[in-house]
Each structure stands twice: as structure tokens, then as C-alpha cells.
Amino acid sequence: MQGNVIIREYQSKCVRCGQCRSVCPVLDILGKEPASPRGKVYLAGLIARGEVPPGPRAEEILSLCLVCGACSAQCPSGLPVDGIITAAREAAASYRHYSPYRFMYRSFFTQMPLLGRLPGFASLFRGMAGGTPLTGRPARHQISPITLPQKKKPLMRVGYFLGCATNYLLPEVAVSVVNVLTHLGCEVVTPPFACCGLPLAAEGEAAAAKKTLEVNRRLYQAYKLDALITDCSSCSHHLTGQGLAGDAQPVYEFCEFLVKVLNPARPAIEISQSVACHYPCHLRHGRKLEDHLHQILGNIPGLSLVEIPGGGSCCGGGGSFSIKQKSISSRILQKYTGQILSSGAQCAATVCPSCIMQLRRGLKNQDMPVLHAAQLLSRSYLIGQSPIPEFNLSILMTI
Amino acid sequence: MKKTDLVNSIIKIVGRDRTVHEETELKLYSYDSSFLSSRNRFCPDVVALPRSTAEVSAIMKMASDNSIPVTPRGAGSGETCGCLPVRGGIVLDLSPWNTIEEVDAPNMQVLARPGVVHSRLNDHLEQYGLFFPPDPGSTRMCTLGGMVANNSSGMRAVKYGVTEQYILGLEVVLPGGEIVTTGGTNCRALKNVSGINLTKLFVGSEGTLGVITRIRLRVWPRPRARGLAVACFSDLDLAPGAVLDVYRAGILPSAVEILDHSAIRAVNLYRPEINLPPAEAILIFELDGNPASIEWEGREIASLLKKSASGVEWSTDPERVKALWQGRSVVAAAAARLKPDGTRVFAGEDICVPLDRVAESLRGIKQLSEKHSITAVSYGHIGDGNIHTALIINPDDPGEVDRLDLVVDGIHRLAIELGGTTTGEHGVGLVRSAYSPAEHGNAVNVMKNIKNALDPKGIMNPGKIF
């Protein structure tokens, strides 16, 4: 099993210093050692050595992880702590040959394009993600597979990796991404990519994750793209780590692409709002790119960025974590939204659909919209629209 | 008492949410950072996560009535098995009890619960222009309770000393459940010589005399500037003399660190871009205080060091200071690079020797490691003679583990022989208890008498120190 190889390779290098305790959002809530990254890495070793049998108890402990990567980012021994934990999830689940839950999970993410054709699938997806008031068609039906800029000759041919969450939950983000990129002179191609594989890898479904990667790799090679971008920090982190666009080339996060490649002119339309910037964990700890989001938003005229007290933290979403560990997820969220509200911002912005969903859940009773950076940027460029004298951000929530 | 009854008693006191009793979870309370803890399984029967003195008192009373061992635990970042229940029983996980109850800025003191993490306290104190000076390398995870119990310090002990100097008073739950407050817990005087100094008795007692539940500590004005001088030496013997020269010039740096040849090699393998010069030793002097005095002292140190060092650099620029610190800050992680597939283990890692015998100690450690073919990297706080040795082994090779034991024993005996101690700041716990008679002679009996007087049933963290 690949998982045991990863565990054996790394686990013995953990000196149990406990530095990972200082950054773990789950430990912060639960307090007990089994919830700490160190505890789960130690458990991984016990399972690999046969001292703890695979089983529901081990699975339960290992499920106390958001796979946010904060622990890996600052491990003094440089261990991929969250990678060890996800490998251990696979090992812990090996006690049963057939698990309806794992079968469903695997099928859901590997067969998404096929399932997506079924009527009612989008609603099912939304329901699973905690319910959302959004209606309308998935993004893939709203944007064209190829969109050309108004200028005659495009600057470059950009592939848009449209992730599952944006496609089914936040199609308006996809529309904004395509609008901004074409406005800035790119030809935007949206191939029918499969799931990025992160939800599978995080659940210890390494083999299934590898399969989706192969599907995506074939597509990427077939389309002959100059660059591949995504609006989702998690997709960007995972796919860059897997080398989808080649070893040296990242799968650009939206803001990263703008800053590093396009370096666009400042948008013209003022958005007079104070905005709290939420840096998704996979952007901060995985790609280490928070500066780009800050720079892109800071460039919007009239927009003032406000600091979240405590420097920002995890929203507690973590994909399926918010479903499987709802109570812990909500407690992390509650603590964090309290910090966001105390910042005095009128709006929160980020670059991760999963974080957007989670933060909207936490702020639904407050008068604070949560938006993707592409939505704000699209507005500030006012693509294809005449200026609106009094711009109300909450409009964006209902598009 | 049956295990189920014990678990039920704990649940009754702290509630189900703050009780850990499932077998797999209990195994995750069987370690700290010591190598010994990875070779043994010291599992508790139950773990309680108390959040009030009354809860701790009730647990201690119940444990005492039933003669059940109790072991307090902070973040479990220690290196001595100090927080491990070597005889089973109850572990008190005090790490989530992390309230800073009061910052009394005008009186320069803080009242806190034992689970407060060191760096969190200092982050919080920044707004008051204050700080708690002892600075263990584990600042981001270690708890104040653990610091007090082990009388911790760190590289800035050269100037600021150790934890005990900052503890004004403690609230302690004795093994029978009785709650006592020592020293200045209930007053706000910064000096207090009233009565026998019970505070100092509990500081460094490693959880063997009672459970520390509240800490009143004094804090100091935060220095406004820092500077760093780095010097390379082609001869190891020149390094301790250079430190002495600086002291003689009337300068007390906040830290004086040393990397020996092995550490320099490890850092360069780990991060080639740091590119430390291939010297026999590198000394790092840190100065803190006011900008003007730092400037003067830094220049003075640089000119003093030029006499014996092969290269000297001095800076107050924060970016440059950070870059210069890099070599020292990555050495612990870098150590394992000297041996492919090796793992750094914490054993024999904390001796402290007289300043004028540091070079001799480093050579002795090198000889021991070569004799037994164990890779060793030495670095540490030369300013107070505290040497941290990182031993790198393959833990799955039993022969190597046996040879490691010989090296560790040799390092500890070397320290005592040279007029030093087996532990400068990490503590004794289980891993160094065998050396207590050699270090303390019949004073060990006095320690035992004190322990018996406070803990007649021997339930408080048994099996440690002696």
C-alpha cells in the first residue's frame, strides 16, 4: 500500500517536538493530544507497525484533520504532516474490504462529469455542501468552452481549470474569472477537467486521486495551453504539487497569474468598501501566495483592505471536514467570523470557493457579503457594463 | 480501583468531554520528545483535562484516597519523559487550560494558568511594552506550567537567567488535594522574603511535589533593539576565550551561541544557500537593549573578536540579523542531514559545563561519537556552557541503539567529570535519574524526605528525578 510507504518514510523522522500543536485549528478547539497533528502522525506510525489495528477508532481520530497544511508548513523537520495523516487514513480504512461510504465518495469525485449530466445532480451537490440559496445552471453551462477577447489577437491561450465547487456552487465566480481574463486579452479555454483529486487524496483515496490526475493530464496535454489557471487555492495547491502543468510550471491561482504573468493595468471603477482579506490555508501554507491576493485587491480604486485581528486563520471548512465534523467545523468558523466582524470590514474577499461557502454560512445572519477576488475585480473593470452610480456589493451575492 | 470506576470518577469531576479513556487515544499520551519515550509505551489509564483548581483538587483527593499515580502534562514538548505516566494512573493534560488571567502592567506582573503557551504570552505582552524573558527554543508550543515545573530557560539565559527568577508565587494543589499558595501569589510585591521559599521548592520539581494551577510571574520591559555579531574561528579552543574577552570588556550579550564543525557542515548540507564558512567554530553574539548602546557594544565586540577570529560580521539591520540567525535556527532540523536515512534523537542533549571547559567537552563528545560510530552534531549556549548535542541514528537498528546508549552515558559522565551537570535546562525526568546520586550525593536523601513529607503515598509523578 502506497500509504504505508509514505508513513514509514517520514514518520520515524518526527521528533515529536510538538511545534505543530501551535498552528492546528482542530487542536485549538478540542485541546486534547489525539487531536494534534503530532498525535495523528504518531498514530500513523502505530498503525504502520501493527500496534494499533486499522479500524473505526483509528479512523475517527484521523478524521480530526482539516488537511489545511499549517502543520507541514512549519514543521522544523520539514515533514509533510498532512500527507502522513491522509496516508494513515487509507491504512486505517483497510480493515474492511468494502465500505459503502468510501465507494460512494470515490464514485462521486471520480465520476463527476458523468454524474453531472443527471438531472438534479447540481442540487444534490449543493445540498451536500450544506445547502446554498444559489440556483441556476452549473458554470460549465454558463460559460463557453472557448472565449476569445474582444481584441483581435489574444495575448495567450489560457486554460481555466474549473473546479467542482465553483462549477456547481458558485457559477458566478467562473463567469467573473472568464470575464476578467478575456478583458485582459487572454483566450480562455475551459476543458472538461475532472476533479482535481484533492478531496480524494485527503480521504486517503490515493489510487482514485491518481486516476483523476491522469485524466486531467491527458486533457491538459491535448489542449496545448500557454498556462493553466484556477480560481480555487486548493485546486492550485494540489495540482501544482502533482505537477499537472509540468514540474516547473504551477497551476496558477487566479491572483498569482494576474500578478506574475499579466501584470494588468489598474482597474478604473471605484469600489468604496472596506474589505477583509481571507487567505485560504492552501494559499498561505500550501502555495505561500497571500501577497498576490493582497496586491490584486489593494489595486482596486477606493477599496481599503482591513486586517483581521489575529492575522487571519482557517475558516474550518476543509471540504468534507465541514460535513463529517460539523460541530468542530462550526466552532472554528464561529471563532473566526467573530474576528472578521471585529475587523469592521464591510465585505470579505478570498480566492477559494470552499472558504466562500463556509464563510457565507458563518456570516449569513450578518450583513457582510463574502466574495471571490475575481468578482470584485470584474466589477472594478466593469466588463461589458455601464457604470453603476451606487454600487451595492450585495447584488453580487444573488447573481 | 477498577479502571472503569476510575474513568467514571474522572468523568464525574471534569465531564465526559474532558476525559480521555479510549485505548487508542491513551496511546497518544505515551510520548514526549525524548528518544526513550519512542522505545517504551508509558500509557495512562485515563487522561483528565481540568479547567479549574477545584477540579484538580478533587482529582488529587480521589487519587490520593485510592493511591493512584497522577502525572501532570503540558504540551509534551519535554525531552526527559517527565510528563509520562511511567506507572500508569491519571495524566492531567493542563495544556488547554490557557487563560492569561491578568496583566498588571503598572506592577510588572502577570497571573496565568499553566497551559498558556510561552510565545502567546509574549505576543500578548507586546502591547504593554513588556516581555517574559526566559525563552526556550520550544517557545511556540511549551506551556508556562511546563516551564515552571522544569525551571526552563533558553539561549537568553546568559543575560536574563532562568524561569525561577521570574516566579513571584504559585498556586499548587498538593497530592492530597489541599490547595496552597506560595510566595507572592496573593500579594503584588515584587520582592518577598517572608517565610521559607516554597515557590523555589516547586519550581523545577518536575511535577513530583504537586500540581501547579496558577502562576504569578514578573515581566520586564521589552528591549527596543537587537543586534548580532557573528565570528568564525579556525581553532575551536579560541572560541571560549573570545566569549570571556567580551565579558571582560563589561558587555553582557543577551545570547552567545556556538556551532561546532559538525553543526556547520550539517547546516551547509541542509541549506547550501546559507553557505557558512568552513570554520572549526562559529560564535553568534546577540545584543539587546536601546539602539545607541547596542551600536556601541556591537562595534566593541566586533573589534575585540578581530583579534582571534578569522572573520567577523556585525549588524543591527533586522533583515541581515534574520539572515545571520538562520544558521543557528536551522541547525536542529539540519542535524539529521549528516546521516542519510538518519533520525535525530533527543538523548544526552543538555549537558552544561564550566565555560572554560566547553572546548574540552565538545572534543570529548566528538571522541565518544567516533569511538561508537554514532553521528553527532553539537551546538548550544556557550554563553553559559550549555551544550546541545544532536545524535543521529537509525532507530530501527538495534546495534546502533545500543551504541547510542553508550554515547549518551559517556556524555553525561563527561559532564559530571568536567565539573558540570547532566542537564542545564531540560530536566531530569526519567532519562537522567540514574545520575542523581553522582550529581547530588546524600542531598538526594533530603530531596526524598521532602517528597515524602508532601506526598506520603508517592502518587505524584512517581519514578522521576531520583
Q: CB–CB of B24 and A58 under 8 A?
A: yes
**Quick one: A134 and A247 in the same domain?**
yes
Among all residues of chain A, which has the CA nearest to that of B343?
Answer: A13
Helix or strand holding residue B180 (H, E): strand B179-181
Number of domains in chain A: 3
Residue A302, number of CB atoms within 10 A of its CB: 11
**Among the three residues A60, A95, A130, which one is the final residue of a domain in this structure?**
A95
Q: Give residue A103's pLDDT.
A: 79
Q: How large is the average pLDDT for residues A99-111?
A: 78
Would you say residue A160 lies in a domain?
yes
Tell me the mean pLDDT in the region B313-324: 88
With an 8 Å Cβ cutoff, is A52 touching chain B? yes
Contact (CB<8Å) A17/B37: no
CB atoms under 10 Å from CB of B231, counted, come to 26
Q: Are A257 and A234 in contact (CB under 8 A)?
A: no
Residues 6+ apart with CB under 8 A from B446: none
Residues A302 and A233 in one domain: no
Shared domain check, A343 and A246: no
Q: How far is A260 from chain B (nearest CA, A)?
A: 24
Of A18, A31, A57, the CB nearest to B24: A57
- Of B355, B348, B347, the closest CA to residue B413 belongs to B348
Task: Sheet with B167-173: list strands edge to edge.
Answer: B100-104, B109-112, B211-218, B167-173, B179-181
Tell whether the model's pLDDT for residue A86 goes beyond 80.
yes
Residue B416's CB is within 10 A of a number of other CB atoms, namely: 15
Cross-chain Cβ contact A77/B336 below 8 Å: yes
CA distance A81 to chain B (A): 15
Do A33 and B76 lie within an 8 Å CB cutoff? yes
Examine the domain organization and report whether A140 and A119 are in the same domain: yes
From A263's Cα to the closest Cα of chain B, the distance in A is 28
| A2: pLDDT strictly greater than 70 | no
Q: Are B392 and B383 in contact (CB under 8 A)?
A: no
**What is the rounded average pLDDT of the residues B72-86?**
97
Per the model's pLDDT, the better-predicted residue between B328 and B224 turns out to be B224
What is residue A132's predicted lDDT score, i.e. its pLDDT? Answer: 56
Rg (CA), chain A: 21
| CATH code of residue A304 | 3.40.50
Give the cell for residue A192.
Answer: 472538461
At B245 the three-state DSSP class reads helix
* Full domain range(s) for residue A11: 2-95
Task: Return the bridge partners of A364, or none.
Answer: none
CB A62 within 8 A of CB B317: no
* pLDDT at res. A385: 53
The answer as to whether A20 is a domain residue is yes
Residues β-bridged to residue B389:
B378
In this prediction, residue A135 has a pLDDT band, given cuts at 50, 70 and 90, of: low
Contacts of A18 in chain B (CB under 8 A): 33, 75-77, 138, 141-142
Q: Which residues of A fall within a CB distance of 8 Å from B33?
A: 15-18
Is A107 inside any structural domain? no
Q: Output the average pLDDT for chain B.
A: 95
Give percent of chain A above pLDDT 70.
92
In a domain, A106, yes or no: no
CB contact under 8 A, B343 and A13: yes
Å from B96 to nearest chain A CA?
A: 5
Same domain as A120, residue A253: yes
| Burial environment of residue A104 by CB neighbours within 10 A (0 to 12, 13 to 18, 19 or more) | exposed
* Backbone conformation region of residue A15, classed left if phi is above 0, alpha if psi is from -120 to 50, else beta: alpha
| A226 falls within a domain | yes
Query: Is the residue at A267 inside a domain?
Result: no
Size of interface A-B (CB pairs under 8 A): 85
The bridge status of strand B130-131 relative to strand B220-221 is: antiparallel
For residue A13, the chain B residues in CB contact (below 8 A) are 336, 343
CA of A38: which chain B residue's CA is closest? B28
Contacts of B323 by beta carbon, 8 Å cutoff, 6+ apart: none
Is A122 in the same domain as A231? yes
Domain stops at, among A95, A125, A158: A95
Say if residues A278 and A313 touch (Cβ distance below 8 Å). no
**Nearest CA to CA, how far is B403 from chain A (Å)?**
19
- As a whole number of angstroms, the distance between CA A370 and CA A169 comes to 14
Using a 10 angstrom Cβ sphere, with 0-12 exposed, 13-18 middle and 19 or more buried, the burial of residue A142 is middle
Verify whether the Cβ–Cβ distance A57 to B49 is below 8 Å.
no
Q: Which of A220, A238, A262 is the last residue of a domain?
A: A262
Identify the CA nearest to B48 among candidates B25, B31, B79: B25
A212 and A237 housed in the same domain:
yes
Q: Which residues of B touch A (CB under 8 A)?
A: 18, 20, 22-25, 27-29, 31-33, 37-38, 47, 49, 75-77, 93, 95-96, 117, 119, 138, 140-142, 332-333, 336, 343-346, 395-396
Q: How far apart are CA A87 and CA A8, in angstroms?
A: 10
What is the C-alpha to C-alpha distance for residues A88 and A397, in angstroms, rounded to an integer? Answer: 39
**Interface touch A18/B76, C-beta < 8 Å:** yes
Mean pLDDT over residues A186-215, rounded?
92
Q: Is the pLDDT of residue A3 over 70?
A: no
User: Does B27 contact A51 at a Cβ distance shorter than 8 Å?
Assistant: yes
- Which of B25, B31, B336 lies closest to A13 in CB terms? B336
Same domain membership, residue A75 and residue A41 = yes
Surface-to-core class of residue B356, CB atoms within 10 Å of its CB (0-12 exposed, 13-18 middle, 19+ buried): middle
Least Cα separation, residue A57 to chain B (angstroms)? 7
The nearest alpha carbon in chain A to B95 belongs to: A31
Residue B1 confidence class, pLDDT cut points 50, 70, 90: confident
Nearest Cα to Cα of residue B147 among B157, B162, B168, B161? B162
One domain for residues A81 and A152: no
CA distance B16 to chain A (A): 13
Asked if A50 reaches chain B (Cβ–Cβ under 8 Å), the answer is no
pLDDT at residue number B31:
97
**Which residue type sits at B428?**
V
Q: How far is CA A81 from CA A74, A258, A324, B115, B430, in A?
A: 10, 31, 21, 24, 29
User: Domains, chain B, ranges and CATH?
Assistant: 3-94 (3.30.43.10), 100-221 (3.30.465.10), 225-333 (3.30.70.2190), 339-440 (3.30.70.2740)
Kindly state whether residues A254 and A129 are assigned to the same domain: yes
Chain-centre distance of CA B226, in angstroms? Answer: 23
Q: Do B117 and A76 touch (CB under 8 A)?
A: no
Pairing of strands B386-393, B351-352: antiparallel
Q: What is the pLDDT of residue B322?
A: 86
Partners of residue B95 in chain A, C-beta under 8 Å: 21, 31, 33
**Nearest Cα to Cα of residue B26 among A59, A42, A21, A54:** A42
pLDDT for the residue numbered A382: 72
Mean pLDDT over each residue of chain A, to the nearest integer = 88
A19 vs B: CB within 8 A: yes
Calpha distance B41→B345 (Å, rounded): 17
The one-letter code for the residue type at A304 is: S
The DSSP string of B300-315 is HHHHHHTTT-SEEEEE
- Mean pLDDT calculated for residue range A113-131: 70
Q: Which residues touch A82 (CB under 8 Å, ≥6 apart)?
A: A37, A65, A67, A68, A69, A71, A72
Q: Look up the ipTM and state it.
A: 0.95
Kindly state whether residues A116 and A258 are assigned to the same domain: yes
Per-residue pLDDT tens over the stretch A351-390: 999 999 999 999 988 889 999 999 999 999 876 554 433 3
Whether the pLDDT of residue A66 is over 80: the answer is yes
Q: Evaluate whether A158 touches A226 at the Cβ level (below 8 Å).
A: yes
Same structural domain, A258 and A120? yes
Mean pLDDT value across residues B286-314: 94
| pLDDT tens-place string over residues B375-407 | 999 999 999 999 999 999 999 899 999 999 999
Whether B76 and A42 lie within 8 Å, measured CB to CB: no
Q: Which site among A13, A16, A63 would you substitute to test the B interface, given the most B Cβ atoms closer than 10 Å to its Cβ?
A: A16
Domain-embedded: residue A104: no
Q: How far apart are CA B137 and CA B140, in angstroms?
A: 8
Per-residue pLDDT tens digits for A252-307: 999 999 999 999 889 989 999 999 999 999 999 999 998 999 999 999 999 999 99
Alpha carbon distance B151, B144 (integer Å): 10
Total Cβ atoms within 10 A of residue A77 = 17
Summarize pLDDT for A164-196 with one digit per residue, the tens.
999 988 999 999 999 999 999 999 999 999 999
What pLDDT score does B288 carry? 96
User: Which CATH number belongs to the domain containing residue A213 in this structure?
Assistant: 3.40.50.1860
Average pLDDT over residues B130-158: 96
Contacts of B269 in chain A (CB under 8 A): none
Residue A68: what pLDDT? Answer: 96
CB contact under 8 A, B28 and A31: no
Is A76 in the B-facing interface, judged by CB distances under 8 Å? yes
Per the domain annotation, does A220 fall within a domain? yes
**Residue A329: closest CA among A130, A107, A96, A84:** A130
What the block records as the C-alpha cell of B89 is 494512573
Task: Report whether pLDDT(A133) > 70.
Answer: no
A34 shares contact with chain B (CB less than 8 Å): yes
